[in-house]
Chains A and B, each alone.
Chain A
Amino acid sequence: MVVGAGMTGAACAWYAARAGLRVAVVDRGAVAGGTTGAGEGNLLVSDKEPGPELDLAMLSTRLWRELAEEAGFAADIEYEVKGGLVVAAQPEGFAALEAFARQQRRSGVVAESVAADALPELEPHLSRELAGGFYYPQDAQVQPARAAALLIRDARRMGATLHTGTTVTGLTRGAGGEVTGVVTDRGTLRASWVLNAAGTWGGEIAKLADVRLPVLPRRGFVLVTEPLPRLVRHKVYAADYVADVASGSAALQASAVVEGTAAGPVLIGASRERVGFDRGFSLEVARLLARRAIELFPALEQVRVMRSYLGFRPYMPDHLPAIGPDPRAPGLVHACGHEGAGIGLAPATGHLISLLLTGQRPALDPAPFRPERFGDGGIADDGIAREGIADEGAVDA
């Protein structure tokens, strides 16, 4: 029983169905109706420091390629190994990138130093004011809503069922307190395992089992320009993006992440701020993102932004997702809290979950992702309840 029909739930459903498990997916909204439908579909290794998340990302890079090429999804999910280019404005920033890349290479990341005078070859419209950059050829992209929908469709072909518009309101428990299924507004569904793939709302599902999982919403805006000829070839971002991702601050951070799309519009991110589930447009954020993007690509100054969208990344205090069975509530398994990397990490997460549920040796050590690592400290103490209540009126049902 997979709760959540976003990218993570879809990947978990696909790998579980392929492993021969009987799978049902429930979601209170539509497929890809939450954070999956509000991102850019990045499959990045470049922004991750060595450690468990990078290991997961490297595994995912391989699995995405398998899904795209061997399972035949490539064209339908708009899979593109476009490569990432991280640039620094100052020599100190370039030196920091070099040190970062040196560490990443030990984990199998390919990172190529690009001197300032070689940048225009990679990106002709890039500012000439930069000190240099690093090129990451493994960075890739998919269209996330299509990817989630197609994996779920393929899982259904293998026997899975899909229940959209179905809200989980409770969990059924056995004599020993174990989780035995979900109660929904459309009836009760029994299951040996209930998988919490509710993303940013994963803390609420955990709460139904009386366990604490501190997933908090970290808001991000994306600006969409008018369609343009190929102006930006790779995913290009400023070096301070890595620091912003790793920051735990609730305050607004914005670093330019600029990329072209197959359809023509250029997408401009990435802002991060913890403001609960506030869906209000922020002119301050939009201006900041536009200014940062123009610093990287001066030609964008003449280009109009057509619209913007926003989403809520599922933020965990240590920036690692929760993946695996929850010993505090037998029968409950988590796969959520991937923050802004959920599309990229989805196949590795789904693969890992299916190995764990079928009793096989996991492809990598799941210990860093233990869902119980934050302890059971009062649920009201970690901000979920506070932010939830403060913004109750703004939550999309």
Chain B
Amino acid sequence: MTRPSRRLRTPLALVEAQPGPAFHVTFDGRTLNALPGQTVAAVLWSAGIVSWRTTRVDERPRGVFCGIGTCFDCLVTANGVPNQRACLVPARPGDVITTQRGDGHDSV
């Protein structure tokens, strides 16, 4: 048995994608590479980040669960707006993505 090569496990290679030029977003101040068409969740996962929210009661870490917009587990704060589904929101150049704590509203 041989381990599948790194290249084969990249979906970009699998579908022979030819994406447009990469751009940058930030996550908690850290600069990340993003490709056109990627969701915020895809950008974060590509960078090895799997958690970007803490739960409201026990402050447990959360990231993508269903990945298709149904479960609302992957909520994130993007450009200051909390409670957005990272798995649906497209990444845009210059997006400022931050870890969401609790409901993401310090005050209403």
Contact = CB atoms under 8 A, between A and B. Distances in A.
Contacts of A131: none
Tell which of A228, A231, A302 has the most Cβ of chain B within 10 Å. A228
Contacts of A99: none
A227 B103 contact: yes
A264 B108 contact: no
A228 B56 contact: no
B39 interface: no
A264 B72 contact: no
Which secondary structure dominates where chain A touches chain B?
loop
Contact of A306 (B83, B105, B108): B83
Contacts of A263: 56
Tell which of B82, B102, B107, B108 has the most Cβ of chain A within 10 Å. B108
Contact of B103 (A226, A299, A304): A226
B52 to A, nearest CB: 15
Contacts of A228: 103, 105, 108
Interface residues of A, number: 14
Size class of B's contact patch?
10 to 19
Nearest to A230: B108
Contacts of A125: 108
A227 B83 contact: yes
A128 B104 CA distance: 27
Contacts of B105: 228-229
Contact of B56 (A264, A302, A307): A264
A211 B83 CA distance: 51
Interface in A208-259: 226-229, 231
Interface in A254-303: 263-264, 299, 302-303
B11 to A, nearest CB: 28
For the complex of A and B, the 8 pairs showing the least CB-CB separation, nearest first, are: A226-B83, A227-B103, A264-B103, A229-B105, A231-B108, A299-B108, A264-B56, A228-B105
Interface of A: 125, 226-229, 231, 263-264, 299, 302-304, 306-307
Given A229-B107, A303-B108, 18 more contacts: A226-B75, A226-B83, A227-B56, A227-B75, A227-B83, A227-B102, A227-B103, A227-B104, A228-B103, A228-B105, A229-B103, A229-B105, A229-B108, A231-B108, A302-B108, A306-B72, A306-B83, A307-B72
